[in-house]
Structure 1
Amino acid sequence: MLIVEETFLLLTKDHGPTERVGAYRRHGLVTALLADLEEAGVVRIGDEADPKVTVVRGGATGRPVLDEALPALDGLSGTRLGKVLGAKALDPGTAVGRSLAAQGIVQEVPHRFGAPDFVVVNPAPEIALRRRLGEVLSGRRTATTADATELGILKALNLAYRLLAPGRGEFDRSTLDRTLVPVVQDRPLVAALQRAVPPVTASTTVAVTAPGAAGVAERH
Structure 2
Amino acid sequence: MLIVEELFLLLRRDDGKAESATSQNGYGLAAAVVTDLVLAEKVTLSDDKDPRMAVVSPAPAGHPALDVALARLVEKDGKKLSSLVTDRRLNVEHEVAEALSSAGVVRVEEKRALGLVPARYPILDPEPERRVRERLRTVLAGGTPQPADATLLSVLQGLGLVGKVLADEKGGLGRRDLKRRIEEVSTDVQAGAAVAKAVQAMNTAIMTAAILPAIAAGGAAGS
Q: Same fold (TM over 0.5)?
A: yes
Q: Which residue of 1 aligns with 2:127?
A: 124
Distance 1:23 1:130 in 2: 20
Q: Which residue of 2 aligns with 1:144?
A: 146
- Counterpart check, 1:156 vs 2:158: yes
* Higher normalized strand content (fraction of residues): 1
Q: Which residue of 2 aligns with 1:193?
A: 206
Unaligned 5+ runs, structure 2 = 188-196, 216-223
**Aligned partner of residue 155 in structure 2, secondary structure:** helix
Q: How does 1:62-141 map to 2 (within 5 A)?
A: 62-112=62-112, 113-114=114-115, 116-139=119-142, 141=143
Superposition TM-score, scaled by structure 1 size? 0.85
Q: Does the Cα contact within 8 Å between 1:42 and 1:56 map onto a contact in 2?
A: yes
How big is the shift at 1:193?
A: 1.3
Q: Does the Cα contact within 8 Å between 1:45 and 1:53 map onto a contact in 2?
A: yes
Distance 1:79 1:21 in 2: 29
Percent identity of paired positions between Structure 1 and Structure 2: 34
Q: Does the Cα contact within 8 Å between 1:152 and 1:190 map onto a contact in 2?
A: yes
How big is the shift at 1:171?
A: 1.2
Distance 2:12 2:175 in 1: 22
* Higher normalized helix content (fraction of residues): 2
Q: Which residue of 1 aligns with 2:41?
A: 41
Q: Does the Cα contact within 8 Å between 1:19 and 1:25 map onto a contact in 2?
A: no
How big is the shift at 1:189?
A: 1.6
Q: Which residue of 2 aligns with 1:175?
A: 177
Distance 1:200 1:27 in 2: 12
| Stretches of 4+ aligned residues off by more than 4 angstroms | 199-202
Cα-to-partner distance string for 1:89-138 (whole Å, 9 max, x where unaligned): 11100100111111111000123433632111111211221111010011
Distance 2:149 2:20 in 1: 22
- Counterpart check, 1:32 vs 2:32: yes
Unaligned 5+ runs, structure 1 = 203-220
**Aligned partner of residue 54 in structure 1, secondary structure:** strand
